[in-house]
Amino acid sequence: MCGIFAVFNYQDDIHAFRRRALLLSKRLRHRGPDWSGCKISGNNILCHERLAIVGVDSGAQPLTNEDETIILAVNGEIYNHKPLRKQLRPDTHFKTQSDCEVILHLYSEIGKDVVNHLDGMFSFVLLDTNRNRFIAARDPIGITSLYQGWSSSSPNTVYFSSELKALNEECDKIILFPPGHIYDSLTGETRRYYKPSWWDEEVIPKNPINYTYLRESLENAVRKRLMSDVPYGVLLSGGLDSSLIASIATREAAKLAATQNGFDEDRGVTTWQKLHSFSIGLPGSPDLMAARTVAEFLDTIHHEYTFTLQEGLDAVHDVIHHLETYDVTTIRASTPMYLLSRKIKAMGVKMVLSGEGSDEILGGYLYFHAAPSAADFHKETVSRVKKLHTADCLRANKSTMAWGLEARVPFLDKTFLDVAMSIDPEEKVFREGRMEKYILRKAFDVSTTGDVRPYLPESVLWRQKEQFSDGVGYSWIDTLKETSEQHVTDEQFANAANRWSKDTPTTKEGYWYREQFESWFPEEACTDSVERWIPRADWGCPEDPSGRAQTVHNAAI
């Protein structure tokens, strides 16, 4: 992943603006510490901060075609770039080994329909100088981050950035660019290109469960995400999702290590002799103990880190700066992930696999126990997947990229999504003898796979859902609540609606985060770009988003 900043149709001296643009792009350098690039054409400027994962020696951006009539800046990874290269005209000339360059050449052949051919996570901006056209696009679910902005002083100028912090001083209107959409300056429209069959939440799927298909689609998703020219690892919380990803990755790494020099030409993958796994928690936390069990079972090279409550509290202010949100559950979970990412990057690792998305797809959060019906259950999964870019994708992307570490999320693979989201929700709902994410657990159970070598220990495969912010240690959330009580007086909280009439905080913890967010981003346009997750009160769920707040959590202890 990387950082992109671009301004199109600038109304003043673009060359005089170059220094300002470079300073704004520099605010994204944590996303791409390996190299910086800048291209000007006409009254347009594209800047790029690079994190080199594939094509390390030759993939500096912005990328251009041979006559430099097309300029491209990308934040992301294109997993099917090798097959796409083979589909291009035989005389296509590639300047780099970057997986992203294929976008440029594919656009020159088929135009903006390029987005429908990409398999990966990406945000990109592209300038076609021959047509005086620029387009911007974001991956289907919003794994990568992208913002779009405008200034009322120059309404025909359009800004794009990977993060809010490069736009807040320039734009008085800023939006989160919607996932699965493409913007075209020729029409001025932003339209949805990602249209899977399950997107309409009113249409309830009826497909029966096929455990083999579910398992193999996830295995394929992990396999393609091992594309890397640099050392990688897995984030291992010890929960079902991260443990399954680690198990599959371990098997794939072993296959790869058995090949000549540990390299797969077709997939562009290199590997260490053993997979490295990483976990974090307060001393003695549930996640640390479970992760240790998984690591021993999988025989990974395991790295276990602990943090103190004070270290976590000290990091919150910076975490909010990187996250660019005041959402309570996102901040709670992001802080340990932010601390762990720094440790991982210090080891020289640039890419990790992570387990985000499974709970939204399969209804794994404990509050799903309260769903009134299978239809309601399904509608909520669709809604949660659609909002992932405001929550867990935002967390995974920005917590890791704060330190120049890239997180890849196999559960959000397009094929796996199509398989899992098209299953009859009656197969997913809770009932006697079926816990949350039963079908995923069953798909990897030896009774289904027939494999003599289990994917995971039984104690982990059938471990109850523990949200990351709980699993790192129950006292973490408790301490955040207690600290907010010290920072926010009763009088301040009583007047919260007067201070923030829009999106008023409903807890002191929320108030405390909102206050810190505004210290970084005081502009109203920044607040407009934030979306909070609010628990389903209509299902009888408590206001606190913690998994421990759900009665089913305590009932299972």
* 197 pLDDT above the threshold of 50: yes
Residue 421 has pLDDT above 90, yes or no: yes
To the nearest 10°, the Cα dihedral for 131, 3, 237, 361? -20
Say if strands 276-281 and 301-306 run parallel, antiparallel, or are unpaired.
parallel
Tell me the CATH number for domain 3-192.
3.60.20.10
Say if residue 158 is exposed, middle or buried (CB neighbours under 10 Å; 0-12, 13-18, 19+): buried
423-427, 538-542, 549-553: range with highest mean pLDDT: 423-427
- Calculate what percentage of the chain has a pLDDT beyond 90: 84
Closest CA to 461 of 285, 239, 222: 239
pLDDT of residue 270: 53
Nearest-angstrom CA–CA distance, 226 and 413: 13
The pLDDT score that the predictor gives to residue 467 is: 54
Known binding residue 99? Answer is yes
pLDDT tens, position by position, 457-500: 999 999 876 655 567 878 999 999 999 999 999 999 999 999 99
| Ranges of each domain in the chain | 3-192, 211-465
* 24, pLDDT greater than 80: yes
Cβ–Cβ under 8 Å, residues 61 and 2: yes
Residue 545 CB-density burial (10 A; 0-12 exposed, 13-18 middle, 19+ buried) = buried
Mean pLDDT of the chain: 93
Check the annotation: does 354 bind a ligand: yes
> In whole angstroms, what is the distance from residue 517 CA to residue 256 CA?
45
* CA 316/CA 311 separation, integer angstroms: 9
Q: How many CA atoms lie within 13 A of 186 on its CB side?
A: 12
Dihedral over Cα of 548, 553, 555, 557: its sign: negative
Joined together, the tokens standing for residue 443 give 């798909």
- What is the 8-class DSSP label of residue 182? E
Alpha carbon distance 460, 237 (integer Å): 11
Amino acid identity, position 192: R
Mean pLDDT across 202-212: 96
- Was 280 annotated as part of a binding site? yes
Q: What is the pLDDT of residue 553?
A: 46
Three-state SS at 407: strand
- Tokens encoding 16: 């005089």
User: Sheet harboring 35-41: ordered strands across?
Assistant: 35-41, 44-50, 3-8, 154-161, 147-151, 173-176
Q: Return the sign of the alpha-carbon dihedral for residues 324, 329, 334, 335.
A: positive
Structure tokens at 463: 């471990």
The separation between CA 108 and the C-alpha centre of its own chain, rounded to angstroms, equals: 29
Q: What letters, b where the CB count within 10 A reaches 16 and e where it falls short, cover 425-464? A: bbbbbbeeeebbbbbbbbbbbeeebeeeeebbbeebbebe
Q: pLDDT tens across 33-79, in order?
A: 999 999 999 999 999 999 988 888 877 899 999 999 999 999 999 99
Question: How far apart (Å, rounded) are the C-alpha atoms in residues 482 and 335?
Answer: 16
- Span 147-175, average pLDDT: 97
- Please compute the mean of the pLDDT values over residues 132-157 and round it to a whole number: 97
Q: H-helix or E-strand containing 291?
A: helix 286-298
For domain 211-465, give the CATH superfamily: HUPs (3.40.50.620)
Q: What residues act catalytically?
A: 2
Between 88 and 533, where is the model more confident?
Answer: 88
The yes-or-no verdict on residue 557 having pLDDT over 90 is no
What mean pLDDT is predicted for residues 103-119?
A: 97
245 is in an annotated binding site: no
Nearest CA among 235, 222, 234 for reference residue 269: 222
Residue 370 and residue 540 in contact, taking contact as beta carbons nearer than 8 Å: yes
The answer to whether residues 52 and 34 touch, using CB atoms and an 8 Å cutoff, is: yes
Coil vs helix vs strand at 29: helix
Taking residues 21-37, report their average pLDDT. 97
Helix (H) or strand (E) holding 109: helix 101-110
Q: What is the per-residue pLDDT across 256-276, written as a single tens digit (0 to 9) for each?
A: 777 745 555 555 555 556 899
Q: Is 355 annotated as a binding residue?
A: yes
Instruction: Check for a shared fold between 3-192 and 211-465.
Output: no
